[in-house]
Homo-oligomer: A and B are copies of this chain.
Amino acid sequence: MRGAVPRDAGAVPGDVGGGPRDTGPVPGGYRGGSRASGRWPWGMWAVGSPQGAALAVAAAALVVAVAAWRRPRPVREVLFFPCQPCCLEALLAEASPARPCPCPLPRADTSLSRLVRRLLSARRSLDLCIFSFSCPLLARAVHLLHRRGVRVRLVTDAECMGLQGSQIGRLRQDGIQVRHDQHTGYMHHKFAIVDRRILITGSLNWTSQAIQSNRENVLVVDDAECVKPFLEEFERMWEEYNPTNYIFPKGSK
């Protein structure tokens, strides 16, 4: 039996109290035997050794690869219109499960149903900036989010919101915050931002005519480089169109 080794002796673990397989230290820092002898050459992986550095890089590469594999794919969706009419009752019904809808329309996967799904994925906020908003189905989706407690803010064009069929008045009555432009040009944007993370933008005004008859596009992305400028534009408009900031022209009463 070997003698006890003082704690401050600077001994390297593995040198102390070796069992039957312990072969003792090897000159040059190479500890332990070969693989063939049943020992793993742990010593060669010591910090500072070239092998240790290679192992560290390999481990880092593995971590990066796993992280890249686990990272959610970036959102990239392109929707084109017009799209065929479809029944959205299953998506928009507030009761769960929804009662079967008696309408004859198919429950197809269309550009409109995909757009509604994207909107309904909002959990915290929906910032809307829509030039013309007269589609009752999309108004219903926005209303549903509002009822679920999602913070909905809506910026629109002053001229368009006064047209017949506009859904803006109804949404305002429901308690949704709405602001509109005050200048001569149009507030012509047509974009939505879901949870300050997903941007939905394109040529599509939220009207039944546009959805059912026009050639239109909607792009859905979640790159911060795209979303952030739109968020900033929204906040700029939200502040600029605040009724408390409204400047009445001279001579008006």
Chain B residue at minimum C-beta to C-beta distance from A217: B189
Does A215 reach chain B (CB closer than 8 Å)?
yes
The SS class assigned to the A binding surface is mixed
Does A34 reach chain B (CB closer than 8 Å)?
yes
Does A37 reach chain B (CB closer than 8 Å)?
yes
Q: In the assembly, what is the distance between CA of A101 and CA of B156, in Å?
A: 39
Most chain B beta-carbon contacts within 10 A, residue among A36, A51, A209: A51
Q: Which of A52-60, A89-97, A143-151, A243-251 is the interface stretch?
A: A52-60
Picked from B27, B30, B215, B221, the residue with its CB within 8 Å of the CB of A189 is B215
Chain B residue at minimum C-beta to C-beta distance from A188: B214
Q: Which residues of B contact A61 (CB under 8 A)?
A: 57-58, 60-61, 64
Does A237 reach chain B (CB closer than 8 Å)?
yes
Contact A223/B188 with A58-B58, A203-B203 known, Cβ cut-off 8 Å:
no
Most chain B beta-carbon contacts within 10 A, residue among A60, A186, A191: A186
Q: Is the CB of A185 within 8 A of B82?
A: yes
Picked from B53, B62, B191, B219, the residue with its CB within 8 Å of the CB of A226 is B219
Instruction: Give residues in A with beta carbon < 8 Å to B.
Output: 27-30, 33-37, 44, 51, 53-55, 57-58, 60-62, 64, 76, 78, 80, 82, 131, 181, 183-191, 201-204, 209-210, 212-217, 219, 221, 223, 225-226, 229-230, 233, 237
Q: Which residues of B contact A237 (CB under 8 A)?
A: 215
Q: Is the CB of B80 within 8 A of A233?
A: yes
Q: In the assembly, what is the distance between CA of A29 and CA of B44, in Å?
A: 14
Picked from B29, B35, B212, B226, the residue with its CB within 8 Å of the CB of A76 is B226
Instruction: Give, as a whole number of angstroms, the nearest-CB distance from A93 to chain B.
Output: 29
Picked from B64, B186, B219, B225, the residue with its CB within 8 Å of the CB of A201 is B219
Q: Is the CB of B28 within 8 A of A35?
A: yes
